[in-house]
Structure 1
Amino acid sequence: MSDMSDVKALVFDVFGTVVDWRSSLIADFTKWGSSQGISADWTALVDAWRRAYMPSMDVVRHHPERGFAKLDTLHRQSLEVLIEKFRIIGLSDADLRHLTLGWHRLHPWADSVGGLTRLKTKYIISPLSNGNVALLTNMAKFAGLPWDLIMSAELFEHYKPDPQAYLGAAALLNLKPEQVMMVAAHNNDLEAAQKLGLKTAFVPRITEYGPHQSRDFKADGEWDVVADDFGDLAKRMGC
Structure 2
Amino acid sequence: MTPTHRQDASAFAPKALVFDVFGTVVDWRTSVAAAVRAFAVRHGLRLDPERFADAWRAGYLPAMQRVRSGELPWTKLDRLHRLILDQVLADFGVGGVPEPELAELNRAWRRLTPWPDAVPGLTRLRRGFTIAPLSNGNISLMIDLARFAGLPWDCILGAELVRHYKPDPEVYLGAAAFLDLAPAEVMMVAAHLGDLQAAKAVGLSTAFVARPLEYGPAGGADLEADRFVDLTASDFVDLAAQLGA
Is the shorter-chain TM-score for this pair beyond 0.5, marking a shared fold?
yes
- Matched residues, number: 238
Out of 132, 136, 159, the residue aligned to residue 126 of structure 1 is 132
Structure 1 CA distance, aligned partners of 2:218 and 2:69? 28
User: 1:122 offset after TM fit, Å?
Assistant: 0.6
**Residue 164 of structure 1: aligned partner:** 170
**Residue 65 of structure 2: aligned partner:** 58
Structure 1 CA distance, aligned partners of 2:176 and 2:67? 23
User: 1:30 offset after TM fit, Å?
Assistant: 1.2
**Residue 187 of structure 1: aligned partner:** 193
Secondary structure in structure 1 of the residue aligned to 2:17 = strand
Structure 1 CA distance, aligned partners of 2:237 and 2:98? 42
Structure 1 CA distance, aligned partners of 2:32 and 2:26? 11
**Cα RMSD for the two superposed structures:** 1.4
**Residue 38 of structure 2: aligned partner:** 31
Over the matched positions of the two proteins, sequence identity in percent amounts to: 50
Asked if 1 retains the 8 angstrom alpha-carbon contact of 2:164 and 2:171, the reply is yes
Which stretch shifts more, 27-36 or 166-175?
27-36
Unaligned runs of 5+ in 1: none
Secondary structure in structure 1 of the residue aligned to 2:116 = coil
Which stretch shifts more, 103-112 or 80-89?
80-89
Structure 1 CA distance, aligned partners of 2:236 and 2:229? 16
**Residue 22 of structure 1: aligned partner:** 29
User: 1:215 offset after TM fit, Å?
Assistant: 4.1
Q: How does 1:198-209 map to 2 (within 5 A)?
A: 198-209=204-215
Rate the CA distance shift 1:164–1:214 in 2: closer, same or farther, 3 A.
same
Structure 2 CA distance, aligned partners of 1:196 and 1:2? 21
CA-to-partner distance for each residue in 1:76-128, whole Å, 9 max, x for gaps? 00111111110123311111111110000000000000000000001000000
Out of 206, 223, 227, the residue aligned to residue 229 of structure 2 is 223
Asked if 2 retains the 8 angstrom alpha-carbon contact of 1:187 and 1:221, the reply is no
Rate the CA distance shift 1:50–1:170 in 2: closer, same or farther, 3 A.
same
Which stretch shifts more, 23-32 or 183-192?
23-32
Asked if 2 retains the 8 angstrom alpha-carbon contact of 1:71 and 1:131, the reply is yes
Unaligned runs of 5+ in 2: 1-6
Rate the CA distance shift 1:99–1:221 in 2: closer, same or farther, 3 A.
farther
> 2:78 matched to 1:72?
yes
By relative contact order (CA 8 Å, sep 6+), the higher-ranking structure is 2
Which stretch shifts more, 2-11 or 21-30?
2-11
Structure 2 CA distance, aligned partners of 1:35 and 1:83? 15
